[in-house]
């Protein structure tokens, strides 16, 4: 177990074009943090590296849509993501960003090394070009029909519906995401990484070397790519947002985001090492170091094919020991979608459930999509919190603390008896560690909760509250129960860091080395003073869960609307009620402002039946000149009422636009006054 002493752990760099959701947390950040926390407790030298990917095409798309610069977008979301991860207790040694000067320097140096050593091939090819936007189109700016599943809105590099990796040339009826027009083909020169030249190396390293220790979903996807045969892939793009390509003749070009982004792991490590007096090369160029990439399944090809080829071409870097990619987490039996707002946003969860980061960590770890897609539901979230965290773990800790203070003023009594349950603790610690080292986080968490169940069963079976006539036996029972409780506080830390900290504080003990937990059955000694009991987990009520389900339902309703900005439908009315309304075409003959009423016009309206006075609150939307002579729809049989002393006989009908401005609802052609609408 765990013979390696130095680990470099990377977590996929999130695009800084939006906040994190529970799919990101379950797929990458919770498992990587569990792994890093455990290894630190084992006394290992760990560099846990993360940061924001700030050069992705989605960022430029969002910037265009919002009318701001890409830098505005990445500044906003980098801070949002970093704060969210901090608040969930994700213990990165550094969380940096790919727009930093340090990263630009390292990425350009990496590119120049490959360029100077002749590792790239140059090729002039025809690329898609938008004549209206006057831009070459990156893969994500090209949309069209997926040739494999016929999804009409696939990207030029990937179909999000079927998961296929694509090239723009494969799309049926391609169109520009900038203008919507059909792009033309135009010649441009780019630098290519000849992946085909590294096919034998990748086959020997992964297919032959890792068939027994890599996850089947990762191994299978890599094998499929290699069986299809690798082709050269362009590492440069004709864009104005990214890291400039540092070679002659590459003006106006930037590095392909999947060349630049993984180098971020290296540049961030260098940044961290410089600040902490370490040699970064120990973590990337020393064969005694284990490199582990935590990613989602959509990033397998980049971390198992492209990035390793880059490092092999460079010549100085170690290969990853493992890439334990997770599958996808669904939400309420539907695929998480940021565009449809079908997601639980991590930062919003923290606002809605303050102080309960561990609850979500627990539920996501329990439902982690390790080998196949899994599902998150709010009802299951509530059940796992109330039945498991509160009912099993919290209940046991509370009972031990209450009984200890009741019987012994919180002082640990003597060990007067031996119990098999205490002897089992080190076995739990060992099994939890073995599962974590195999990236089996769900199984590790199950073992942890089985120890909590064992504690409850032990207390229930021994019933110390019924043995007041045998104080020595009660001491032995309570000593044993306390050992289990302290062990639970110690072993919780990788999964439930905030609860672990609270439990250890309650029990007045320091965090112990994991090796100690695997070798001892005495975690506190006789006479140790326990602290005061605290509530570890709070019950989640039905209304809190219903509010979250309602929020998702509102998203579903909006997704079915052709205009997401439209107001929700009002209460139903009967046909008879509708028939009572008399709506006529009328013409505004005169208009004047109502004194001391900035919003009101007094109008004289020809309804075809009469000329009447109508007071209307439209003064903020139109000038007097704009309304005179306009035809409008008039609700003619609205009961008269006085407004500012003026009797108003009816109502004009307007539409309220998305920007808040009113617009007339009137016939396309001039229509005789008095014509009924219905």
pLDDT > 60? residue 162: yes
The pLDDT of residue 658: 56
Quickly list DSSP for 603-639.
Answer: EEEE-SS-EEEEEES-TTT--HHHHTT-EEEEETTSP
Question: 180-190, pLDDT tens digit by residue?
Answer: 889 999 999 99
The pLDDT of residue 2: 61
- Residue 69 φ/ψ, nearest 5 degrees: -90, 155
Taking residue 162's Cβ as centre, other Cβ atoms within 10 Å add up to 13
In sequence order, the β-bridge partners of residue 613 are: 604
Q: What band does 626 get if pLDDT is binned at 50, 70 and 90?
A: confident
Domain-wise residue ranges, the chain:
6-119+194-326, 121-192, 331-385+541-556, 391-529, 576-677
Average pLDDT on 219-229 reads: 95
Quickly list DSSP for 350-371.
Answer: HHHSTT-HHHHHHHHHHT--SS
Average pLDDT on 105-123 reads: 97
Task: State if pTM tops 0.85.
Answer: no
Considering the chain, what is the average pLDDT of its residues? 92
Q: How far apart are CA 182 and CA 475, in angstroms?
A: 81
The pLDDT of residue 404: 97
pLDDT > 90? residue 575: no
What strands lie across the sheet with 329-331, from one edge to the other? 334-335, 329-331, 374-376
Q: How far apart are CA 640 and CA 529, in angstroms?
A: 80
Least confident of 168-172, 206-210, 265-269, 270-274: 168-172
Do the annotations mark residue 159 as ligand-binding? yes
The pLDDT of residue 446: 98
- Report the candidate in 572, 638, 568, 559 with the shortest Cα–Cα distance to residue 605: 638
- Residue 669 φ/ψ, nearest 5 degrees: -115, 155
Q: How far apart are CA 539 and CA 541, in angstroms?
A: 6
The pLDDT of residue 57: 79
- Report the candidate in 630, 459, 257, 37 with the shortest Cα–Cα distance to residue 616: 630
The pLDDT of residue 573: 62
What strands lie across the sheet with 184-193, from one edge to the other? 135-136, 121-130, 184-193, 233-234
The pLDDT of residue 561: 53
How far is residue 384 from each of residues 367, 390, 471, measured CA to CA in Å? 10, 9, 37
Question: 389-428, pLDDT tens digit by residue?
Answer: 999 999 999 999 999 999 999 999 999 999 999 999 999 9
Q: Do 396 and 421 touch, CB atoms closer than 8 A?
A: no
The pLDDT of residue 56: 80
For the chain, the farthest-separated pair of C-alpha atoms sits apart, in whole angstroms, at 103
Average pLDDT on 53-70 reads: 87
Quickly list DSSP for 502-513.
Answer: HHHHHHT-----
Q: What band does 125 get if pLDDT is binned at 50, 70 and 90?
A: confident
- Residue 463 exposure: Cα atoms within 13 Å on the Cβ side: 4
Residues 6+ apart with CB under 8 A from 248: none
Q: How far apart are CA 363 and CA 488, in angstroms?
A: 18
Question: Phi-psi bin for 60: left (phi > 0), alpha (psi -120 to 50), beta?
Answer: alpha
Least confident of 73-87, 160-174, 216-230, 436-450: 160-174
Burial of 144 (0-12, 13-18, 19+ CB in 10 A): buried
The pLDDT of residue 287: 96
Do the annotations mark residue 430 as ligand-binding? no
Overall CATH class of domain 121-192: mainly beta
Average pLDDT on 651-668 reads: 77
Q: Do 20 and 63 touch, CB atoms closer than 8 A?
A: no
The pLDDT of residue 657: 65
Structure token pair of residue 142: 């090209």
What strands lie across the sheet with 154-155, from one edge to the other? 154-155, 142-145, 172-176
Q: Are strands 329-331 and 374-376 parallel, antiparallel or unpaired?
A: parallel
Q: How far apart are CA 544 and CA 582, in angstroms?
A: 45
Q: How far apart are CA 418 and CA 423, in angstroms?
A: 8
The pLDDT of residue 627: 86
How far is residue 224 from each of residues 166, 231, 523, measured CA to CA in Å? 14, 14, 50
- Report the candidate in 76, 77, 88 with the shortest Cα–Cα distance to residue 13: 77
The pLDDT of residue 508: 98
Strands (E) across 227-382 are located at: 233-234, 236-237, 254-255, 289-294, 329-331, 334-335, 374-376
How open is the CA angle 358-360-365, to the nearest 5 degrees?
95
Radius of gyration of the chain (CA): 33
Residues 6+ apart with CB under 8 A from 430: 518
Overall CATH class of domain 391-529: mainly alpha
- Residue 456 φ/ψ, nearest 5 degrees: -65, -45
Q: Do 74 and 39 touch, CB atoms closer than 8 A?
A: no
Q: Do 255 and 236 touch, CB atoms closer than 8 A?
A: yes
Q: What band does 138 get if pLDDT is binned at 50, 70 and 90?
A: confident
- Burial per residue of 510-530, b for 16 or more beta-carbon CB atoms within 10 angstroms, e otherwise: eebebeebbeebebbeeebeb
pLDDT > 70? residue 1: no
Q: How far apart are CA 234 and CA 190, in angstroms?
A: 6
Q: How far apart are CA 122 and CA 113, in angstroms?
A: 15
Average pLDDT on 176-197 reads: 92
Question: 422-470, pLDDT tens digit by residue?
Answer: 999 999 999 999 999 999 999 999 999 999 999 999 999 999 999 989 9
The pLDDT of residue 563: 46
Q: Do 589 and 628 touch, CB atoms closer than 8 A?
A: yes
- Report the candidate in 73, 89, 68 with the shortest Cα–Cα distance to residue 15: 73
Residue whose pair of structure tokens reads 């987990």 in the numeric block: 537
Q: How far apart are CA 498 and CA 493, in angstroms?
A: 8
Least confident of 150-154, 362-366, 422-426, 470-474: 150-154
Structure token pair of residue 420: 């098999």
Average pLDDT on 172-179 reads: 88
The pLDDT of residue 564: 47
Q: What band does 569 get if pLDDT is binned at 50, 70 and 90?
A: low
Overall CATH class of domain 576-677: mainly beta
Alpha carbon 608 to its chain's center: 60
Q: How far apart are CA 605 and CA 624, in angstroms?
A: 14
Q: Do 635 and 617 touch, CB atoms closer than 8 A?
A: no
pLDDT > 80? residue 608: yes
Taking residue 177's Cβ as centre, other Cβ atoms within 10 Å add up to 20
Strands (E) across 12-81 are located at: 45-52
Helical packing angle, 441-462 and 30-41, nearest 10°? 70
Percent of the chain at pLDDT exceeding 90: 76
pLDDT > 80? residue 522: yes
Structure token pair of residue 136: 């070459």
Structure token pair of residue 69: 């610069």
- Residue 484 φ/ψ, nearest 5 degrees: -65, -40
Helix (H, G, I), strand (E, B) or coil at 645: coil
Which has more confidence, 137 or 314? 314
pLDDT > 90? residue 663: no
The pLDDT of residue 555: 85
Question: 269-315, pLDDT tens digit by residue?
Answer: 999 999 999 999 999 999 999 999 999 999 999 999 999 999 999 99
Q: How far apart are CA 501 and CA 492, in angstroms?
A: 9
Indicate the fold that domain 6-119+194-326 takes in CATH: Rossmann fold (3.40.50)
Average pLDDT on 497-513 reads: 97
Q: Do 182 and 130 touch, CB atoms closer than 8 A?
A: no
- Report the candidate in 654, 571, 666, 577 with the shortest Cα–Cα distance to residue 619: 654
Q: How far apart are CA 359 and CA 381, in angstroms?
A: 8
Burial of 223 (0-12, 13-18, 19+ CB in 10 A): middle
């Amino acid at each position: 177990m765990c013979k390696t002493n130095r680990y470099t752990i990377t977590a996929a760099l999130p695009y800084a074009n939006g906040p994190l959701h529970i799919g990101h947390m379950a797929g990458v950040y919770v498992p990587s943090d569990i792994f890093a926390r455990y290894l630190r407790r084992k006394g290992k030298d760990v560099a846990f590296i993360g940061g924001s990917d700030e050069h992705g095409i989605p960022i430029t798309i969002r910037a265009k849509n919002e009318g701001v610069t890409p830098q505005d977008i990445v500044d906003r979301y980098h801070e949002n993501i970093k704060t969210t991860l901090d608040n969930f207790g994700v213990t990165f040694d550094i969380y940096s960003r790919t727009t930093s000067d340090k990263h630009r320097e390292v990425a350009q140096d990496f590119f120049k090394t490959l360029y100077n050593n002749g590792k790239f091939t140059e090729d002039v090819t025809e690329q898609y070009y938008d004549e209206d936007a006057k831009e070459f189109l990156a893969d994500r700016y090209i949309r069209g029909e997926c040739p494999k599943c016929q999804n009409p809105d696939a990207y030029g590099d990937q179909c999000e519906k079927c998961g296929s990796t694509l090239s723009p040339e494969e799309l049926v009826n391609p169109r520009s995401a900038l203008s919507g027009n059909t792009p033309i083909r135009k010649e441009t020169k780019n630098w290519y990484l000849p992946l085909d030249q590294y096919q034998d190396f990748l086959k020997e390293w992964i297919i032959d070397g890792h068939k027994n220790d890599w996850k089947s979903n990762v191994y299978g996807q890599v094998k499929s790519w290699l069986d299809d045969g690798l082709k050269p892939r362009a590492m440069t793009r004709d864009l104005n947002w990214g890291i400039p390509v540092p070679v002659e003749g590459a003006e106006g070009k930037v590095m392909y985001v999947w060349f630049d982004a993984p180098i971020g792991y290296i540049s961030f490590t260098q940044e961290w090492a410089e600040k902490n007096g370490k040699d970064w090369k120990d973590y990337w160029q020393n064969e005694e170091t284990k490199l582990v990439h935590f990613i989602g399944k959509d990033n397998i090809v980049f971390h198992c094919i492209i990035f390793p080829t880059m490092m092999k071409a460079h010549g100085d870097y170690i290969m990853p020991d493992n890439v334990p990619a997770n599958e996808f987490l669904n939400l309420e039996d539907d695929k998480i979608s940021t565009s449809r707002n079908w997601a639980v946003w991590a930062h919003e969860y923290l606002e809605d459930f303050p102080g309960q980061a561990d609850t979500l960590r627990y539920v996501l770890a329990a439902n982690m999509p390790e080998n196949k897609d899994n599902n998150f539901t709010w009802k299951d979230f509530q059940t796992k919190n109330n039945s498991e965290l509160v009912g099993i773990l919290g209940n046991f800790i509370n009972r031990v603390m209450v009984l200890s203070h009741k019987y012994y003023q919180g002082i640990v009594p003597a060990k007067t008896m031996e119990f098999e349950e205490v002897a089992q603790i080190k076995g739990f610690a060992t099994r939890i560690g073995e599962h974590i080292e195999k990236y089996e986080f769900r199984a590790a968490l199950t073992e942890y909760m089985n120890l909590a169940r064992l504690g409850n069963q032990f207390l229930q079976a021994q019933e110390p509250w019924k043995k007041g006539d045998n104080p020595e036996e009660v001491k032995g029972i309570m000593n044993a129960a306390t050992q289990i409780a302290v062990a639970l506080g110690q072993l919780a830390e990788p999964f439930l860091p905030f609860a672990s900290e609270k439990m250890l504080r309650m029990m007045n003990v320091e965090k112990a080395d994991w090796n100690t937990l695997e070798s001892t059955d005495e975690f506190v000694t006789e006479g140790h003073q326990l602290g005061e009991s605290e509530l570890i987990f709070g019950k989640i009520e039905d209304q809190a869960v219903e509010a979250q389900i309602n929020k998702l339902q509102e998203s579903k309703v909006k997704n079915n609307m052709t205009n997401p900005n439209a107001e929700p439908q009002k209460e139903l009315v009967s046909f008879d009620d509708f028939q009572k309304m008399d709506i006529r075409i009328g013409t505004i003959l005169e208009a004047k402002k109502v004194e001391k009423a900035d919003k009101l016009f007094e109008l004289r309206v020809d309804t075809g039946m009469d000329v009447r006075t109508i007071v209307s609150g439209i003064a903020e939307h139109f000038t007097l000149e704009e309304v005179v002579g306009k035809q409008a729809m008039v609700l003619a049989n609205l009961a008269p009422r006085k407004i500012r002393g003026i009797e108003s006989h009816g109502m004009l009908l307007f539409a309220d636009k998305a920007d808040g401005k009113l617009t007339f609802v009137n016939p396309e052609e001039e229509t005789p006054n008095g014509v009924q609408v219905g």
